[in-house]
Amino acid sequence: MLEALLERARADENVLGVIHSGSRGRNTYVTDDSDWDAFVVVLEERGDYESEHGSGVEVSEVTLEVLAAPPDWARPAFLSLTPQLDKTGDVAASLRAATTLDPATAAQPLDAYVNSYYRSAKNTRVGLELAALLDAQESIGWYLQFLFAVHGRVRPYNKWLEWELEHHPLPVELDLDRIGRIARTGDLDEQRALFREVEALARELGHGATIDGWEPDVAWLRG
């Protein structure tokens, strides 16, 4: 089915390329139930290749402009992919643009991480255990987004986190065991230790102003 799609796309002047995505596109975590997913990159969206959910190959049409700047929630779908068809080289270039971030954008998830951790710590202090745990769990997503963004990268979907770190390591250590403990327990000492690491990294990479914005509570957040 994928070969038939590629053959059709090669002959279509409106098509610039085809990207095979999902588990099968990366040839990882594939099961008998894994979907076949593809993006057809077109000059003009006409709906010629769009398919319904559950089709043999689920296809979405996308222009180069949308591919290069997709919604933030969709960016991880394009990580670690290579086009199966790229008539001009523009598809590969747009893939790189979609999965490359300006490290300056890391300020926003950093601030959101500190905010969630701050709320978790405050809720722990007054005995609101469930609220503290939920805030701790929310902080993890923001932390991961910051950690990848500050290195110019898109945070992968949770399914692909370990795979991405194995195949494309970050230049800093990411303690997944600690992340798991925080997610399960919301342990305040673990959160404090993580904050101290985040603060050091943020200051090293030019985001100290975001941390300073949490004064006079920074010392308290450090523990």
pLDDT of 54 strictly over 90? no
Domain boundaries, the chain: 2-98, 103-222
How is 165-219 classified by DSSP, letter by letter?
HHHS--SS---HHHHHHHHHH--HHHHHHHHHHHHHHHHHTT-HHHHHTTTTSHH
Best CATH choice for the domain 2-98 from the list 3.40.50.720, 3.75.10.10, 3.20.20.220, 3.30.460.10: 3.30.460.10
pLDDT level of residue 211 (50, 70, 90 thresholds): very high
The reported pTM is: 0.89
pLDDT of 217 strictly over 80? yes
pLDDT of 30 strictly over 90? no
Which distant-in-sequence residues (6+ apart) come within 8 Å of 70 by Cβ?
A: 62, 77, 78, 98
pLDDT in tens, 66-83: 999 999 999 999 998 999
Q: Is 18 helix (H, G, I), strand (E, B) or coil?
A: strand
Mean predicted lDDT score pLDDT of the chain:
93
pLDDT level of residue 22 (50, 70, 90 thresholds): confident
Q: For 15-24, 125-134, 139-148, which range has the lowest pLDDT when averaged over its residues?
A: 15-24
pLDDT of 94 strictly over 70? yes
pLDDT level of residue 130 (50, 70, 90 thresholds): very high
pLDDT of 53 strictly over 70? no
